[in-house]
Amino acid sequence: MQADSLPKVYARAEHNISRTQVSENALKVLYRLKKAGFEAYLVGGCVRDLLLGREPKDFDVVTDAHPEQVRKVFRNCRLVGRRFRLAHVYFGREIIEVATFRGAGDEQNDSQIQNDDEGRLLRDNVYGSIEEDVRRRDFTVNSLYYNIRDFSVIDYVGGMQDHAEGILRLIGDPETRFREDPVRMLRAVRFAVKLGFKIDPGCEKPLHELADLLYNIPAARLFDEVLKLFLSGGALQTFEMLRHYGLFQALFPAVERSLEVEEESFPRLFLVKALENSDTRIAEGKTVTAYFLFSAFLWDAVRTQAQAFIRVGVATNIAFQDAANAVISEQIKRIAFPRRITLAMREVWILQSRFEHRQGSRPFRLLSHPRFRAAYDFLLLRIATEGVDPELGEWWTKFQVADEDEQKTMLKASPKPRRKPFKKRSGAVKSRPDNSLRD
């Protein structure tokens, strides 16, 4: 959909956005830019969320002032970004992001716009008017401008209608826009899940065809996107939609392989349960740890690799260490997990074999480990989905709260660990408490 030359302006009486819902600091930025003689609007997700009756996480401002001009207006301002320069105005912990209207530019001659061979934008520092800016935005529902001068909403691309109909539609030719920035494919899925919108059919077709473009995206940028995809409360639906469009394998290739070959749906059941738990905790206002969820994503790949090492005579603890190293080495080529997360993931995986040792001083050492709680919750998740003996979880559930005398009694009565602790068992599986995403 192309932007119209004349926008449709929705007066204050025609929409539900109130100035009282806008951050005081965002209002300060808008009014100060206006006082300095510049145009300034709220734009993007904050306008979209306000129309939905939701509280925006961030308030973004767009203006005709260039970044250096914004910095002159605000002493509490810092310029950031290379691909597109932005001004961040700081008010304590709150940051109001201020962007200059993006221009169309001359893509043949203008050195400020650079595309790679696949059509991906590498550099984009051409400034323009609001009419040009709207054409550079992604989805119509993210391209509505709230005008502080008269409290109206300005719509160049039919975003208000798409908003009312629950449709997620790209501005312009979908294939071209996805090629400009393949991460838009992930954003399409994220917004569709977050907003409960349907992706426009014209945007769906390229999703099935352009997944390989994600391999050109830096692993560090994909990490930020994956956090938004899976830690926003719709993880299970996001997972299913990413697989439907063929996008998931570009993010987690080892996971996709395991989902395709494993029998009896064991890994999928495990991962689905972890995603359900994550969504439930977020809905309840509880925290979710990224390392726990991503350790659940990669667990089957680690377990399968470790079992292969064990079959050729490698000791269990060494087998899991080597398997963890191998899986993480492959994964970080696609998503650059920070070291703090990969270390925590390794610990959760490696500690699983230690739950089998319930004699001597080993249980006490495990109980004092900083990742005990996460590893224990991970064990309960395995019990609920993989056929791991429920008695093991019951023993640790009791042991960690027992007094010293009871703990000693439990240790004396404990069985020796099995030789192959990760072999699946048949039979009924008891459900366990849902604590699997606690830190």
Predicted pLDDT at 415: 78
Predicted local distance difference test score (pLDDT) of residue 438? 45
What are the structure tokens assigned to 168, written together?
A: 């997620």
60: annotated active-site residue? yes
Could you tell me the domains of the chain? 8-165 (3.30.460.10), 252-413 (1.10.3090.10)
Per-residue confidence (pLDDT) for residue 422, from 0 to 100: 44
Of 297, 300, 192, give the one whose Cα is nearest residue 251. Answer: 297
Is 300 an active-site residue? no
For residue 2, the model assigns a pLDDT of 47
Q: Which residues contact 6 (CB under 8 A, 6 or more apart)?
A: none
How far is it between the farthest Cα atoms of the chain?
81
Is there a catalytic annotation at residue 58?
yes
Kindly report, residue by residue over 26-57, the tens digit of the pLDDT: 999 999 999 999 999 999 999 999 999 999 99
Say what the pLDDT of residue 117 is. Answer: 53
**pLDDT the model gives residue 5:** 66
Q: What is the 3-state secondary structure (H, E, C) of 156-187?
A: CCCHHHHHHHCEECECCCHHHHHHHCCHHHHH
Residues of the chain with pLDDT under 50: 1-2, 106-113, 115, 119, 121-123, 265, 421-439
Per-residue model confidence (pLDDT) at position 387 = 86
| DSSP states of 264-326 | GGHHHHHHHHHHHHHHHHHHTT----HHHHHHHHHHHHHHHHHHHHHHTT--HHHHHHHHHHH
Q: What is the pLDDT of residue 429?
A: 37
Position 34 scores a pLDDT of: 96
| pLDDT tens digits, one per residue of 300-352 | 999 889 999 999 999 988 999 999 999 999 999 999 999 999 999 999 999 99
Which pLDDT value is given to residue 257?
A: 87
So what's the pLDDT on residue 266? 52
pTM assigned to the model: 0.83
Catalytic residue, from 49, 124, 133, 138: name it: 138
